[in-house]
């Protein structure tokens, strides 16, 4: 049976693209290599033998930039999606026993700042307003294709108009501010603006997730803007949320929406190759040998896996393959997930914090330590002082575990993908031990309350989720790999050099995170082309 569209990969972007295409009347087949849909947005047991029924968001773990337009268009709320706002959105635990939150409520935030950064209070709120204003200029670009710099004739005029209308009300100061944030370093920015070390580290803790580069390297300031984009049902700026049922609930809502629209979803169906004839994709061949024919093929896999793994090299220009091969990947992050018998008792956690307010705590190094950590990881070394972001999801979501169990998921920043003179297979549990020991310094009851633990190194993320070199964003979030450069110049509009083969994953504009935007944009580009 021939489908109008075959989607490779049932990650959240693949499902989003499939839903929009089916909604427009196309017949769609989605093929997923794993036994579950969702890609990195899944909820799974940590250890089915030691802790049955105890589930956690295995990879991605907080919803921040899922586009409200997609939630509304696909009626995800009707399919069970429910999110609860994080407040504070960020909370850092420090070596001196202090715990500092970044609150959405201005009065609470002011009180926190007066306690830890009395000389920075006014400057903080002025900076926050500036950042929100600049982020608002970027937000419309998330749900549309990037400008086509290679358009010609009337199309070129159309592209210029599309870009100009987004910036026609922008002041010169804001333009220079945007350029500064897109090219400058986070460390230099906060050093210029603030005195308090704790405030600087609090800002750091929410700005560089999964990105290459220490805080003093160019291009790291853009993370400040990205995390101030709108999210949630109400499209609130800087919104972050816990997903009830874990991040897999987003994928399951998308799956149900797809099925109601007639999408055929097949799991345990890994694709071996994209079939190409006369320069055009004609379908795919599965690893089982089965051939599935389709008028269009849409890959939710990253660009390297798509072009260097699924497409015969004879079908692509050698220069194009070389450019794809040179994309920066080598994922710099890992995960460690725990099942605990007790809630972590974080030293210094204020007594008035509610259960949900105790669900976040980041063990963030100083800016210079973070810079040193990144440099160490690029030498193939495991950094001395790890940077660990902890989320106690069961404090907000009782569906994840029995009442006497607690689910802790930890994101570890700045790990080497390719260790020097050692192997992750031999030292995987060493990473788990290091993370456990660090948490124990801030929450002493954690090491003795561990019932089960699962470690995901960058190599494990690659093998489990099929993301090249374990890069959670399908390619580094850096200026030379963003906007009309993602994944490559001339190929930043979801099309590829092979006719009828499209991309819809995080390796395309606007990039990674559980946003659904690449899938949305790719589907609309396909429909316009059709």
pLDDT tens for 79-120 read 999 999 999 999 999 999 999 999 989 999 999 999 999 999
- How far is residue 184's CA from residue 507's CA, in Å, rounded to a whole number? 23
> For residues 132-142, b (16+ Cβ closer than 10 Å) or e, as one string?
eebbebbbebb
Contact 180, 193 (CB under 8 A): no
Those residues whose C-beta lies under 8 Å from the C-beta of residue 407, and which sit 6 or more positions away, are 46, 54, 55, 56, 337, 338, 339, 340, 392, 393, 394, 400, 401
Alpha-helical segments (H) within 419-516:
424-442, 458-465
Tokens of 442: 């801030």
- Summarised one tens digit per residue, pLDDT across range 254-294 is 999 999 999 999 999 999 999 999 999 999 999 999 999 99
What's the number of CA atoms in the CB half-sphere (13 Å) around residue 331?
Answer: 25
Tokens of 310: 């699924």
Q: What is the DSSP string of 191-247?
A: HHH---HHHHHHHHTTT-TT-SS-TTSTTTTHHHHHTTSEETTTTEET--EEETT-T
Three-state SS sequence of 497-516: CCECEEECCCCCCCCCCCCC
User: In terms of DSSP bridges, do strands 333-340 and 406-413 run parallel, antiparallel, or are they unpaired?
Assistant: antiparallel
Those residues whose C-beta lies under 8 Å from the C-beta of residue 75, and which sit 6 or more positions away, are 257
H/E segment holding residue 108: helix 106-116
- How far is residue 59's CA from residue 476's CA, in Å, rounded to a whole number? 17
CB-CB neighbours of 75 under 10 Å: 14
Provide the CA 65 distance to its chain's centre, in angstroms: 9
- How far is residue 154's CA from residue 162's CA, in Å, rounded to a whole number? 12
Contact 513, 209 (CB under 8 A): no
Of 506, 394, 409, nearest in space to 58 by CA = 409
pLDDT score of 181 = 76
CB-CB neighbours of 78 under 10 Å: 11
**Residue 273 burial (C-beta neighbours within 10 Å; 0-12, 13-18, 19+):** middle
Bond before 88 cis per omega within 30 degrees? yes
Those residues whose C-beta lies under 8 Å from the C-beta of residue 38, and which sit 6 or more positions away, are 10, 11, 12, 15, 247, 248, 250, 251, 252, 255
**Residue 373 burial (C-beta neighbours within 10 Å; 0-12, 13-18, 19+):** buried
pLDDT score of 222 = 85
Residue that has been written with the tokens 């204020």 in this structure: 350
Which stretches of the chain score pLDDT less than 50? none
**Residue 420 burial (C-beta neighbours within 10 Å; 0-12, 13-18, 19+):** exposed
| C-alpha distances out from residue 116 to 112, 192, 202, Å | 6, 18, 11
């Amino acid at each position: 049976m021939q489908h109008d569209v075959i989607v490779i990969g049932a990650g959240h972007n693949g499902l989003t693209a499939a839903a929009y295409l089916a909604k427009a009347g196309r017949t769609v087949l989605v093929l997923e290599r794993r036994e579950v849909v969702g890609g990195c947005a899944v909820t799974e047991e940590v250890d089915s033998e030691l802790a049955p029924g105890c589930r956690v968001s295995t990879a991605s773990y907080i919803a921040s930039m899922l586009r409200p337009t997609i939630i509304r268009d696909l009626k995800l709320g009707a399919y069970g999606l429910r999110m609860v706002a994080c407040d504070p959105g960020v909370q850092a635990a420090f070596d001196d026993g202090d715990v500092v939150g970044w609150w959405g409520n201005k009065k609470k935030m002011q009180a926190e700042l007066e306690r830890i950064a009395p000389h920075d209070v006014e400057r903080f709120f002025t900076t926050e307003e500036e950042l929100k204003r600049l982020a608002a200029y970027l937000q419309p670009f998330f749900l549309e294709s990037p400008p086509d710099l290679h358009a010609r004739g009337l199309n070129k005029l159309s592209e210029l108009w599309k870009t100009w209308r987004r910036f026609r009300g922008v002041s010169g100061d804001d333009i220079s501010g945007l350029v500064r944030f897109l090219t400058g370093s986070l460390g230099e920015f906060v050093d210029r603006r603030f005195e308090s070390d704790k405030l600087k580290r609090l800002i750091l803790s929410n700005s560089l997730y999964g990105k290459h580069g220490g805080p003093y390297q160019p291009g790291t300031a853009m993370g400040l803007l990205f995390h101030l984009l709108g999210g949630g049902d109400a499209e609130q700026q800087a919104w972050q949320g816990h997903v009830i049922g874990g991040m897999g609930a987003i994928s399951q809502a998308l799956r149900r929406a797809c099925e109601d629209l007639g999408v055929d979803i097949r799991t345990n169906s890994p694709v071996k190759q994209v079939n190409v004839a006369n320069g055009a994709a004609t379908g795919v061949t599965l690893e089982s040998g089965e051939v599935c024919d389709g008028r269009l093929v849409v890959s939710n896999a990253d660009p390297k896996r798509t072009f260097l793994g699924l497409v015969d090299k004879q079908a692509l220009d050698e220069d194009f393959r070389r450019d794809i091969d040179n994309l920066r990947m080598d994922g710099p992050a890992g995960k460690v997930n725990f099942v605990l018998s007790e809630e972590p008792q974080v030293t210094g956690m204020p007594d008035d914090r509610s259960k949900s307010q105790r669900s976040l705590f980041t063990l963030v190094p100083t800016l210079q330590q973070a810079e040193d950590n990144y440099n160490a990881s690029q030498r193939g070394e495991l950094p001395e002082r790890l940077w660990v972001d902890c989320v106690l999801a069961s404090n907000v979501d009782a569906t994840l575990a029995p009442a006497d169990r607690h689910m802790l998921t930890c994101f570890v920043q700045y790990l080497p993908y390719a260790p020097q003179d050692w192997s992750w297979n031999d030292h995987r549990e060493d990473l788990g031990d290091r993370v456990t020991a660090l948490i124990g310094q801030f929450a002493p009851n954690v090491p003795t309350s561990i019932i089960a633990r699962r470690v995901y190194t960058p190599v494990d993320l690659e093998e489990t989720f099929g993301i090249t070199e374990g890069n959670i964003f399908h390619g580094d979030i850096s200026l030379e790999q963003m906007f009309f450069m993602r994944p490559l110049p001339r190929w930043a509009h979801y099309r590829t050099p092979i006719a009828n083969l499209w991309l819809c994953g995080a390796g395309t504009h606007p990039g990674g995170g559980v946003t659904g935007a690449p899938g949305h944009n790719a589907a609309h580009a396909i429909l316009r082309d059709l």
